[in-house]
Amino acid sequence: MTPKNSSQNSQAKEPRDLRLRNQYFPNAVDLVFDKNMKGYVPLPILVRKAMKYLSAAELRVLIYLQTRCSLYMICFPTLEEIAHDLDLAGRRNLTPHIKSLEKKKFITTATGAGKKFFLVHDPAIAVAHLLDQGMVTSQDLFEINELLHAFKRDPITAKQPVKVTPIKQTKQA
């Protein structure tokens, strides 16, 4: 058996995506954000499947809140600050989107000590709620559960089983 040379060993240990990035984007290291630096906030991957249930403005607000959250998924920017950062014409244009995100169970808000606090939910909570509201198609649910399965997470199921209405037979004369 002949030992592999060191360049082959280092290539074999390099992650596939990094190999592809280096192959197709040789100067990528100068273009992408280094996640090891401060200032990086990950988004739950399930957001990509939940986006279709949000308006563009709701998605902007949700992502804004997610990027403002602490490790414990809570943040407390003022409504004026959010409206300013999202270039909305004041809190009056922001409030409907926050209420809609709450109704869809993407976030919860609470007020205390003169501040509004935002708790950003796991998107699976919102998807489960939307499923119970009849807004998630069976195909979408299948794809969402496939994604959850890939990450060894429990599938989302409806709280209430679908009621099957029996067909009434009419008497024939």
In a domain, 169, yes or no: no
In a domain, 6, yes or no: no
Which CATH number covers residue 153? 1.10.10.10
Helix (H) or strand (E) holding 128: helix 123-132
pLDDT digits (tens, 9 = 90+) for 35-89: 888 888 888 999 999 999 999 999 999 999 999 999 899 999 999 999 999 999 8
pLDDT at 112: 92
Residue 74: the pLDDT is: 96
Q: How would DSSP label each residue in 44-100?
A: -TTHHHHGGGS-HHHHHHHHHHHHH--TTSEE---HHHHHHHTT-SSHHHHHHHHHH
For residue 168, tell me if it sits in a domain.
no
147-161: per-residue pLDDT in tens?
A: 999 999 999 998 865
Residue 96 lies in a domain: yes
Question: Can you say how many angstroms the Cα of residue 20 is from the centroid of all Cα atoms in its chain?
Answer: 26
- What distance in Å separates the CA atoms of residue 58 and residue 98, rounded to the nearest whole number? 7
pLDDT at residue 95 is higher than 70: yes
- 22 located within any domain: no
User: For the chain, how many structural domains are there in total?
Assistant: 1
Q: What domain range includes position 55?
A: 35-158
